[in-house]
Structure 1
Amino acid sequence: MSFFEEQCPEMDGYLENHTSVEPDILKRLRRETFQKTTQPHMISGYLQGRLLAILSKMITPKNILEIGTFTGYATLCLAEGLAKEGKITTLDINAELAYLPKKYFHESEFSAQIDFQLKDAKEFLKETDEFFDFVFIDADKENYVEYFNLIKPRIASGAVVLFDNVLWYGKVLEESPKQKSTQKIKELNELITKDEDFENLILPLRDGLHLIRKK
């Protein structure tokens, strides 16, 4: 939740009413996510989804990597901007929930461009020789720093990386957080800010998106 949403609950509705309409398949996926999962708040959602779609369309990436598929909402948003022969690789380890993203990936116009793998992202990044021009990370926060370090050699100049939940419900303001996830998110934000290979900006959309670009 952003500062504006917290101070003015009506702001979320206003923003959605003045944002491009999400495709019907995403509307249906969002509804089913809330009906069939125990943590539906993990979905990227309307506003963040439109941001991902617009950024992808601006970049027209040939090779996208997503770490943390959940129900596939963000995957389909990112796929909207794929180059004609491009692909998106999306990774998750939740086999029990895999039926849901698979269902919507199969229905979507991007089905042939989506490579959904039930695989640990750290293992994937250590094994792959691929380069990615757009990366979206919304997974286990304790591994955010390791993901960043593993991704750096796999992106070229001009590549864009997004980390989700980098404000962590405001916990990043704690001086000495006890929660490991908070510690790692704070460490990531500091690491990125001090890394001269990147230019960066934290967007206060929902729970915070750290937008970085390789120089």
Structure 2
Amino acid sequence: MHFIPEALDNYVVAHSADEPELLKALTRETYQKVLQPRMLSGHYQGRLLSMLSKLIRPKTILEIGTYTGYSALCLAEGMQPEGELHTIDINEELHDFQRKYFDASPFGNQIYQYTGNALEIIPDLDRTFDLVFIDADKPNYPAYFHMIMEQMNPNGIILSDNVLWSGKVIEPLQKNDISTKALLEYNSLLKNDPRVETVVLPIRDGLTISRVL
């Protein structure tokens, strides 16, 4: 979804950093072999994730929702040399696809994969995080937030994807639309929780940056 005219959006992308060749290959194979390829972060948002990670310089990163590994590789670009990225996805069929690209990158031995329910996996990770990226099932966004707040380092950053949900957050709520309902709750939670300060970016499908106070 474009929040600015498509021609202007194309200009923005053309004048931002180029997409790395490995990520171009990952994108091509995702579109060839995997369902719902629009779930990829993609070139522009991927470069934004990379830039944010490079500014933050995290030692520990948690990603909730790996998909085919595109965003994990972008976030890994900003890790400290001894850093770790822990990424969780419910879909075991994508594990080998992800690992192939992780191992083809400079960060293969720093990226740890987990398959299953993130709400069950996160408490067992036994570490705190400098940077968290939430990009998984929308109904659980509030639960993810409450859980990860217990494991965030001071001044840690939480990035949340799809918070504008194709504009549905400003449309009349449909009775059975649990994803939009959860995102409305989540966006209000980030706005009002005194433990974080938050700004919403109208980029692609909406990206929120929250800083832990």
**Pairwise TM-score range, normalised by the shorter structure:** over 0.9
Query: Counterparts in 2 of 1:103-114, with a 5 A limit?
Result: 103-114=100-111
- Runs of 4+ off more than 3 Å: none
Can you list the C-alpha shifts for 1:68-95, whole angstroms capped at 9, x where unaligned?
0000000000000000100100001111
1:64 matched to 2:61? The reply is yes
1:189 matched to 2:187? The reply is yes
Can you list the C-alpha shifts for 1:143-169, whole angstroms capped at 9, x where unaligned?
001000101110021100011000001
Give secondary structure in 2 for the equivalent of 1:3.
coil
| CA distance, structure 2, for counterparts of residue 36 and residue 16 of structure 1 | 25
How many residues in Structure 1 have an aligned counterpart in Structure 2? 212
TM-score (norm 1): 0.95
Question: Which residue of 91, 94, 100 corresponds with 2:91?
Answer: 94
| CA distance, structure 2, for counterparts of residue 161 and residue 20 of structure 1 | 23
Q: Determine if contact 2:91/2:116 at 8 Å carries over to the other structure.
A: no
Tell me the residue number matched to 1:51.
Answer: 48
TM-score (norm 2): 0.96
Query: Counterparts in 2 of 1:131-170, with a 5 A limit?
Result: 131-170=128-167
Tell me the residue number matched to 2:199.
Answer: 201
Tell me the residue number matched to 1:213.
Answer: 211
- What root-mean-square deviation, in Å, do the aligned CA atoms of Structure 1 and Structure 2 show? 1.1
Q: Determine if contact 2:130/2:153 at 8 Å carries over to the other structure.
A: yes
| CA distance, structure 2, for counterparts of residue 3 and residue 168 of structure 1 | 12
Greater Cα shift, 181-190 or 19-28? 19-28
- What letter matches 2:30 in structure 1? T
Give secondary structure in 1 for the equivalent of 2:91.
coil
1:19 matched to 2:16? The reply is yes
Can you list the C-alpha shifts for 1:3-23, whole angstroms capped at 9, x where unaligned?
20xxx2222321111011121
| CA distance, structure 2, for counterparts of residue 176 and residue 20 of structure 1 | 37
| CA distance, structure 2, for counterparts of residue 129 and residue 58 of structure 1 | 25
**Deviation at residue 177 of structure 1 after TM alignment:** 3.6
Give secondary structure in 2 for the equivalent of 1:96.
helix
- What letter matches 1:200 in structure 2? T
- What letter matches 1:60 in structure 2? R
> Percent identity of the aligned residues?
49
**Deviation at residue 126 of structure 1 after TM alignment:** 2.7
Give secondary structure in 1 for the equivalent of 2:94.
coil
**Deviation at residue 175 of structure 1 after TM alignment:** 4.1
**Deviation at residue 33 of structure 1 after TM alignment:** 1.0
Give secondary structure in 2 for the equivalent of 1:35.
helix
